[in-house]
Amino acid sequence: MDRRGSVVEPQSGLPSPSPRDPLLSPDSHMDVQGYKWVRWRVWLCRLGAVLSLGLLLIVFHWRPRLGVLARCCSCPPALADILLIRDVSGQQHVVDVLTEEMEDGSLELLGELEVSEWRDTVQLYKEEKTLLRYYLFEGLRYVWLDRKGAFCRVSVLSEDWTCKDLYGLQKGLSHLEQSLRRRIYGPNVIDVPVKSYMKLLFEEILNPFYVFQFLSVTLWMIDDYYLYAICILVFSIFSIGISLYETRKQSITLHNMAQLVTDVTVRRNSGAEERVSSKELVPGDCLIIPQEGLLLPCDAALLAGECLINESMLTGESVPVLKTPLPAGEGKYSSETQRRHTLFCGTQLIQAKGGGPGGSGAVAVVTSTGFFTAKGNLVSSIMYPQPINFRFYQDAIKFLLILGFVALIGTIYSFVVLFRSNVSATWKELLIRSLDIVTIVVPPALPAAITTGTIYAQRRLKKQGVFCISPPRINICGKVSLFCFDKTGTLTEEGLDVWGVMEGRPAGFSELVPDPSLLPPGPMLTGLACCHTVMLLQGQPLGDPLELKMIDSTGWTHQEPEGDGKVLDAEFGGHKVLAVMRPPAQRLQAQGTSTSEAVAIVQRFPFSSALQRMSVVTVAHGGRSALAFIKGSPEMVASLCRAETVPAQFSSKLRRFSSEGLRVLALAYKPLDSNSDFRTIERGEVEKDMQFLGFLMMKNLVKPESAKVINILRLAHLRTVMVTGDNILTAVNVAKSCGMVGSDEKVIFVNATPHTAQSMPTLRFSLEDGATAAGPCSIEVITWGLYQGGFGYHLAINGKSFAALCDYFPEYLPKVLMRATIFARMTPDQKTQLVKELQKLNYRVGMCGDGANDCGALRAADVGVSLSEAEASVASPFTSKTENISCVPLLIREGRCSLVTSFGLFRYMALYSLIQFCSVLILYTVKTGVADLQFLFCDMALVTLLAIVMGKGGPSDQLHPSRPPASLLALPVLGSLFIHSGMIILGQVSALLITTSQEWYVPLNSTMFGTANLPNMENTSVFALSGFQYIIMAVVVTKGYPHKKPLYYNVIFLCLLVILFSLMSWLVLYPGPAVCRIFQLYDFSDMEYKMLLIAVAALNFLICFFVEVLIDVGILNCLRSLRGKRPSKKQYKRLHVLLSDSPSWPPLNQTLSPADHTVICLS
């Protein structure tokens, strides 16, 4: 057997917010290697750990793979004690293989599972035992399957369930079956471990940063730097204490949020019902849901009754959702495709009815438990976030390696200098002095310092009502180059007002009726009143705001069954009644009950974004006149209608209303056989051969803030894109209203058709109506105007064309994505796919949405912003309480400010190290050193205070067209550090030379070395200038315009600069005997000399500041011209250049096939 296996991760069928969605994790396999313990190797490693004083164990803690290789030998995963796992992001993990003893003969209870799939027989004391081999990774349980030759998620055992299988489980499980499944699937808990303070402390101090700091403190102690070492130790203990408190507090919060244990009622195969703890639930259990609802402890498929669910915890969508029974059939069950029939863990079930005895409650079958549920996956995404691929963080590691190389050179130099100048020094003293250089060049506080800007930005965002669950993404906000927006509820108002109704007949459309209540009695009026999923809760209607407005416009009243509902059932021919819609009393009197009468809804098929429609089945009094009504997107409804019932003017009317920005819905109906069993009727049977009824138009106003924000983003050269499920013409109208498409810009529609039995795939680009009416000659003129005359154009594409484009014209996809602004009729999966495709072009993509349909895209985007009144939800990294897109520029400004601050702090900490590095090496060269208190003063009073308040400056009020850089290894950054380092060395050497050139200069005692030579003139002069340099560099690297407010807005920083400058000036000019004694400074009496030192510091400041200004305006770019112009590394920039040079693209009014493509090459 191969020693390298894989973990098969089947599609888990979770709702779109799940981070394990196949679209979000396209590579669904993990590499697994098996290892067995080797006893002699284990004992050898234990001996090595003792001899190395635990250092070997620390190395194994940092690199678990080394620990496994040292103590184990490779073997097939089926026989392994230990597994080495490489996940999809390339990170390695070590897990133990666990076993569970199964009862003899229990395997036969799971007839649908192959026994050989998961049993492992061992001979132990001559007794055969059946063992289940499994391991736990990120909360998920993986079991060994012989048939697949791999460890698979335990959910694979139930992934092939069909709807028919689920209905078969409605009878319940026996106690023995339930016990067996619990051993296989594990307990139904989302367990977030809360570690003890001791364990957290152990993990924290083994962090490489703290280990390095501990070794530094030990070195300083040996070197008699007691005071400095103690201060750093106290500071570190304080820092660790705060970190432990915050970490444990967050763990407790997440534990409380994730933990859900309650008592539930399940049905056994004997027919009896019993109360059990939700921890004991397993897939296949039959769950009895009470009428008053409950907080769901698992994922379950609804089999009987209707449930009203609040899913805001998962999606941020506050509107309750109606769930209906799963359709019976042979089709495979998937919680994603059947999400309107699936109850998700962690959601609040408000009301259940129509499924239990007496018409109350509902019945469901458990499909997923624990971390395999929707809530479990979202909790897992918080506990184990995906690594953030951001250049700034990658470059920070590389930069530390560069500093490490500098430290190595400094160590060698100092060792040579010390060895040559101090013959009496022991090897121990030489080694300690040399290693001390490493603690200076690689600042231990660097990782903490660069997060300061992010912390300040997060606090400011919270004050503005924007909550963040992933602080590192704040810096990524600063690099966003494209932002996608949902339309309804994001760019436009959530609420819709009924604008009018137009009935359609084969002969044509009737006149527009502004008020639906004025419609004559008939199918159109009945359809408007009945085709919805609104429910009553304590007498108040709950549901989609659009449907609430639609019902309200008809004037009909809503009634639901009371008690067991038998009274209403009898009134309507014995059919199971879900709701009754009754016309206004005056209409009954005026028109008579024969044409406008109460109607009972007996079956509902809820709205699905993927299907773009919903439908209901109704009956009149006595069960007669059974009708099916459908409501949805006009294109979808028309495709389900008989062609002869759709008016010829359908397309022109739809185009007219949509282009006016109206939300257009179509309705259709058909008679059904009254004797049918409507409880078991299939959706496909209902939604076909319909008769077209007409249009319902609703006005959806653009939010007043939308146009302003889009204009701000356009002026900042940030591309904006609309991604909506609405009609393409409605979307174009909204895009024009909010400024995404300018008044002088053209819209070109992209129409792609898939391959069918009758036709080949085609692709066509056509100008919007009005532009092509003049014929071929004008097309040439328009084309010339588009490409040569500077007119802008935007592409618009719908979901069907987008799917065909991806499948049959992949060579055109990047070009369409580069110019497309409007994506209409997009399903939730297509929204996620769009974000991914844009990221492939190297865009940093932002996504702003407000509902469940956007969750996949929000999580896939680099920056996802959910407009929701829910708490900082796990639906996206950012949640804004503001119900408009004004939070987007704020987020980008804060991101840019945070990124610039992080850059500044990183450079400052690097320069601080280099200043101290230069000081020490210069003083080592002249046989002296830096005093303990001098180190302490520079590190604590100067650098630490400045680093803490440097990041407090807020973001600029305006978004600038340029984005801040994200690379620490770019020419301007490295160039400025190199020049500033040169100025630092020059300044300190100048101070030393000025001192030695004075008439009163007294040379050092050459028989002594290091701090034993203090106080002396050389040390005092170098200390004085280096003290000023710490302050100078804080000013030089603190950026203001264009991404941060000017320096004078950061009042605390400004005041601190003045105080520290005054303090340093006092230490140089008038230190006094007491201060000189404490700091071991030489008290110069020559005032002219001391003023000259300050003048050198001022000159150092002016030169560095001037150099930084020149670098900011791009003076170093002249060096790039020497190597010649290179194409951008970003694909979208290269593609933009190539498209600008392509005068014939897109080819208007030409039908293209996959064979006639012209590829624009990006290589």
- Which residues are bridge partners to 1152 per DSSP? 763
Percent of the chain with pLDDT over 90: 33
CA 62 to CA 836: how far, in whole Å? 33
Q: What is the pLDDT of residues 1071-1082, one digit of tens each?
A: 989 999 999 999
Residue at 204: amino acid letter: E
Who's near 527: CB < 8 A, 6+ residues apart?
Answer: 629, 631, 667, 669, 693
Confidence bin at 317 (pLDDT 50/70/90): low
* Residue 486 known to be catalytic: yes
Give the tokens for residue 487: 């339309």
Query: What pLDDT is attached to residue 104?
Result: 58
CA 342 to CA 349: how far, in whole Å? 12
Flag whether pLDDT at 272 surpasses 60: yes
CB 1097 within 8 A of CB 1028: yes
* Cα four-point dihedral sign 53, 55, 61, 67: negative
Query: What pLDDT is attached to residue 121?
Result: 42
Alpha helices in 85-155 (DSSP H): 115-118
Summarize the confidence of residues 6-14 as an average pLDDT.
Answer: 38
Considering only residues 976 and 358, tell me which one the structure prediction assigns the higher pLDDT: 976
CB 533 within 8 A of CB 544: yes
- Which residues are bridge partners to 132 per DSSP? 100
Confidence bin at 815 (pLDDT 50/70/90): very high
Alpha helices in 927-1069 (DSSP H): 932-936, 945-950, 971-996, 1017-1037, 1051-1069
Which of 529-538, 808-817, 1051-1060 is least confident? Answer: 529-538
What angle is formed at CA 322 by the lines to CA 316 and CA 323, rounded to 5 degrees?
105
In the block, residue with structure tokens 């992010």: 454
Cis bond upstream, residue 443 (ω within 30): no
CB 956 within 8 A of CB 897: yes
Q: What is the pLDDT of residues 538-573, one digit of tens each?
A: 778 888 888 888 998 998 999 888 776 778 888 888
In the block, residue with structure tokens 């597994």: 83
DSSP, collapsed to helix, strand or coil, labels residue 697 as strand
In the block, residue with structure tokens 């016309």: 583
Confidence bin at 129 (pLDDT 50/70/90): low
CB 86 within 8 A of CB 30: yes
SS3 of 450-486: CCHHHHHHHHHHHHCCEEECCCHHHHHHCCCCEEEEC
Cα 584 to chain centroid, rounded: 49
Give the tokens for residue 404: 């490490």
Query: What pLDDT is attached to residue 853?
Result: 67
Summarize the confidence of residues 520-532 as an average pLDDT.
Answer: 91
Q: At what angle are helices 427-441 and 391-421 packed, to 10 degrees? A: 150
Query: What pLDDT is attached to residue 833?
Result: 92
Nearest to 470 by CA among 963, 869, 863: 863
CB 915 within 8 A of CB 1026: yes
In the set 21, 87, 299, 486, the catalytic residue is 486
Flag whether pLDDT at 593 surpasses 50: no
Flag whether pLDDT at 281 surpasses 80: yes
Give the full edge-to-edge strand order of the sheet including 691-699.
508-509, 497-505, 691-699, 662-671, 627-632, 613-619, 599-608, 579-582, 557-559
When computed from its CA atoms, the radius of gyration of the chain, rounded to whole angstroms, is 36
Mean pLDDT of the chain: 83
Residue at 77: amino acid letter: P
Flag whether pLDDT at 1122 surpasses 70: no
Summarize the confidence of residues 422-441 as an average pLDDT.
Answer: 76
Query: What pLDDT is attached to residue 43?
Result: 95
Flag whether pLDDT at 3 surpasses 60: no
Summarize the confidence of residues 615-642 as an average pLDDT.
Answer: 90
Give the tokens for residue 399: 């930069």
Cα 118 to chain centroid, rounded: 36
835 to 438, 888, 892: CA distances (angstroms): 45, 17, 18
Summarize the confidence of residues 237-257 as an average pLDDT.
Answer: 83
Q: What is the pLDDT of residues 931-973, one digit of tens each?
A: 888 988 998 889 988 988 988 888 999 999 988 888 888 888 8
Which of 203-212, 452-461, 570-579, 927-936 is least confident? Answer: 203-212
Query: How many CB atoms lie under 10 A from the CB of residue 887?
Result: 24
CA 994 to CA 827: how far, in whole Å? 74
Query: What pLDDT is attached to residue 827?
Result: 82
Confidence bin at 425 (pLDDT 50/70/90): low
CA 713 to CA 821: how far, in whole Å? 14
Which secondary-structure segment (H or E) carries 902? Answer: helix 887-925
Which pairing describes strands 306-310 and 820-824: parallel, antiparallel, or unpaired? unpaired
Query: What pLDDT is attached to residue 848?
Result: 92
Query: What pLDDT is attached to residue 399?
Result: 81
In the block, residue with structure tokens 């601190």: 1056
Q: What is the DSSP letter of 648?
A: T
- Which residues are bridge partners to 980 per DSSP? none
Residue at 838: amino acid letter: L
CA 797 to CA 749: how far, in whole Å? 6
Summarize the confidence of residues 384-394 as an average pLDDT.
Answer: 73
Which secondary-structure segment (H or E) carries 70? Answer: helix 64-71
Query: What pLDDT is attached to residue 472?
Result: 83
1013 to 419, 923, 1004, 1016: CA distances (angstroms): 17, 11, 7, 7
Confidence bin at 124 (pLDDT 50/70/90): very low
CB 366 within 8 A of CB 298: yes
Highest mean predicted confidence (pLDDT) among 537-541, 906-910, 1055-1059: 1055-1059
Confidence bin at 712 (pLDDT 50/70/90): very high
Highest mean predicted confidence (pLDDT) among 128-142, 628-642, 839-853: 628-642
Percent of the chain with pLDDT over 70: 88
Q: What is the pLDDT of residues 844-887, one digit of tens each?
A: 999 998 766 677 788 889 999 988 765 545 557 888 888 889 99
